[in-house]
Structure 1
Amino acid sequence: MRLSRKWRTYLLGYLLILPSFVFLIIFTYYPVVRSVWLSLFQKMAGGVTKFVGLANYEYMFGSRLFKQVMQNNLVYSLGSVIPAILLGLVFAILLNKRLKLRGAFRFSIFYPTMIPIAAASMVWIFLFSQSYGLLNKVLNLLGLSSNIDWLNTTPYAMLSIILVSIWKFAGYYMLLFLSGLQSIDESLYEAAVLEGANAWQKLRKITLPLLSPTTFFVTLMAIINSFQSVDQVYVMTRGGPYNTTNVLLYYIYQNGFVYWDTGLASSASVVLFSILLGFTFIYYFGLQHFVHYER
């Protein structure tokens, strides 16, 4: 039986996406389903697993540690996402102009993005050192308190993690904003100048509205990244002091690979997945009408 051209086209299309679809099932959908399944079991002595239903969730949500972890993650997300996005936007606007050494400035700001976060965190450990760290030396020169143990005292430990994250991701967001800025038609700015618009009016009436699709995407990615950050926490503080820098992904790592409590780790993974999925759904469908797309 010979297939029609239409069905041959359909079949060819499905065959072309089949490898990607197989990888998607193996590395995305199956782990999600497996995590949900494992969250219903508890690992007993001798490696025996016991079905406990929602007991892991009940224990987790009743735990003071989990509540602290969620609060820490909220503080970290707000403290790292908003400044990083604002800095990325400011850098992009400034470096979109015709300046001397513009390429060098762009590279220097984007460069931290290319450094593995674990390696960068090791460098920042020395910068935050209480005895010989550069940050305390600078504070001493300014006549301020210069004996701060940044990574072992509260609230400086969380502040240190946030500063590293801002330094790491601001350049990446700058690059995305630059891409959005360069897609705006220059004739719009020329028309605004003819109408007597100043720099602030051009920014508010042209740049920001036409940059809203990029801002929408950057904000969504930044929030997702803030819930997936674990490397700098592991390298710099190990969740301390007294779990004040313990965030959700590090909590999952601890339970899954340190305490080998796969049930609790899977339950926390399901919570993380639900938060990101729910937020993405609400953010996309709730705020989409604020985004301006050029036609």
Structure 2
Amino acid sequence: MSTSTEVRIRPSSIQRAKKERRAALAFLGPNALGFLAFTLIPFGGSLILSFFNWPLVGSPEFAGFANWKRLFFEDAQFWPIVGNTLYFASVYVIGNLIVSLGLALWISSNVKFKGFFRFAFFLPVVAPMVANAVVWRLLLAPEEGLFASVFKMLTGSTGPNWLGDTRWAMPAVILMSIWQGFGYNMIIFCAGIGSIPQQIYEAAKIDGASWLQRTVRVTLPLLTPSIFFATIMTIISSLQTFAQPFILTGGGPGNSTTTLVFYLYQRGFQGYEMGYAASIAWSLFALILVVTFIQYRGQDRWVNYQ
């Protein structure tokens, strides 16, 4: 009896599994085709293009490693621009994490109107980057901007030329970027803090731990997975920054705020050197890959997943 039952059930279960696989493929198919057409093929095509000279109009000419040789050994602008990118990324990541973590700790305490503050601080993230940059360009105007007016009221002078001085242009871009982007990490940290069991805090209070001790010894160690994720994502996004220097300074004064993505844009879509722009893109990809790999290799030393 049991053998005949198994024989009757097995074909129907196999057919059901086949139908489920076909349904899964039907749902995944369009996305897989889109990924292949708009991500994977262009990804490989850009690598091939880096070995060609192509002025966008006309036929590409094979150049071998000429673009790479020019990029690393002959282009006097490339390495200073790499330095600009690393400068922006390092200061922006540190500032973003400090501001977002501090506000998350504050909002997660016994503060009123938590929902309003979350909304207000997250609002710049969902606002268009171009609109944010245009507003900050007006705020940082050398004579009539808000910053100049505040400086004039306090000191009698309009202060530095924030966007026209090589010493202040990059800090101004970083300041605007932190204001625009800290809300995303703040929400991540708020969610991480909210997931910490309250019993741990209650036990720490019974042991006589102060708020600062609870923060340092309980909250921050248990929040390290969220901090790790936020750090990785913030580093990757900071190394790809484009809109802020493009709108605020146009990469200037000189090349003081030109980043790798902005330099790629200049070479590819202003200079029509698509092969050379592709080599810049792959150098940026290698930089992001190395930084991310180092972060992942070092996470065991400080990230607590328990």
TM-score (norm 1): 0.93
- Deviation, 1:277, is 2.2
Matched with 1:4 is 14
User: Contact conserved, 2:93 with 2:235, CA < 8 A, in 1?
Assistant: yes
- Deviation, 1:44, is 6.0
Matched with 1:269 is 281
Q: What residue ranges of structure 2 are gaps of 5+ in the alignment? A: 1-10
Change (3 A) 1:160 1:29: same
SS in 1 for 2:155: coil
Q: Partner letter of residue 242 of structure 1?
A: G
Match among 209, 216, 228 for residue 197 of structure 1: 209
Match among 114, 120, 125 for residue 132 of structure 2: 120
Matched with 1:30 is 41
- Deviation, 1:275, is 1.6
Q: Within 1, Cα distance between the matches of 2:216 and 2:151? A: 37
User: Contact conserved, 1:44 with 1:50, CA < 8 A, in 2?
Assistant: no
User: Contact conserved, 1:209 with 1:292, CA < 8 A, in 2?
Assistant: yes
Indicate yes or no: 2:265 matched with 1:248. Answer: no
Q: Within 2, Cα distance between the matches of 1:182 and 1:11? A: 40
Q: Within 1, Cα distance between the matches of 2:103 and 2:188? A: 11
List per-residue Cα deviations over 1:191-249 (Å, max 9, x = no partner).
11111111122112210111111100000010011011111111111111111100000
SS in 1 for 2:209: coil
Indicate yes or no: 2:84 matched with 1:72. Answer: yes
Q: Within 1, Cα distance between the matches of 2:215 and 2:16? A: 49
Matched with 2:30 is 19
Matched with 2:106 is 94
- Deviation, 1:5, is 5.6
- Deviation, 1:144, is 6.6
Residue-pair matches, total: 293
Matched with 2:50 is 39
Q: Within 2, Cα distance between the matches of 1:248 and 1:26? A: 25
Please give the residue correspondences for 1:150-161 in structure 2 after superposition, counting only pairs within 5 Å: 150-161=162-173
Q: Within 2, Cα distance between the matches of 1:198 and 1:270? A: 50
Q: Partner letter of residue 240 of structure 1?
A: G
Indicate yes or no: 2:96 matched with 1:60. Answer: no
SS in 2 for 1:140: helix
Change (3 A) 1:82 1:125: same
Q: Partner letter of residue 125 of structure 1?
A: R
Q: Within 1, Cα distance between the matches of 2:280 and 2:211? A: 48
Change (3 A) 1:155 1:286: same
Matched with 2:3 is none
User: Contact conserved, 1:121 with 1:164, CA < 8 A, in 2?
Assistant: yes
Farther-moved stretch of structure 1 (140-149 vs 211-220): 140-149
Please give the residue correspondences for 1:104-253 in structure 2 after superposition, counting only pairs within 5 Å: 104-143=116-155, 145-253=157-265
- Deviation, 1:92, is 0.3
SS in 1 for 2:141: coil
SS in 2 for 1:53: coil
User: Contact conserved, 1:85 with 1:173, CA < 8 A, in 2?
Assistant: yes
SS in 1 for 2:77: helix
SS in 1 for 2:255: coil
Bigger Cα Rg: 2
- Deviation, 1:146, is 2.1
- Deviation, 1:145, is 4.7
Change (3 A) 1:150 1:190: same
Q: Within 2, Cα distance between the matches of 1:282 and 1:82? A: 17
What RMSD over aligned residues (CA atoms) do the two structures have, in Å?
2.0
SS in 2 for 1:180: helix
Q: Within 1, Cα distance between the matches of 2:57 and 2:114? A: 62
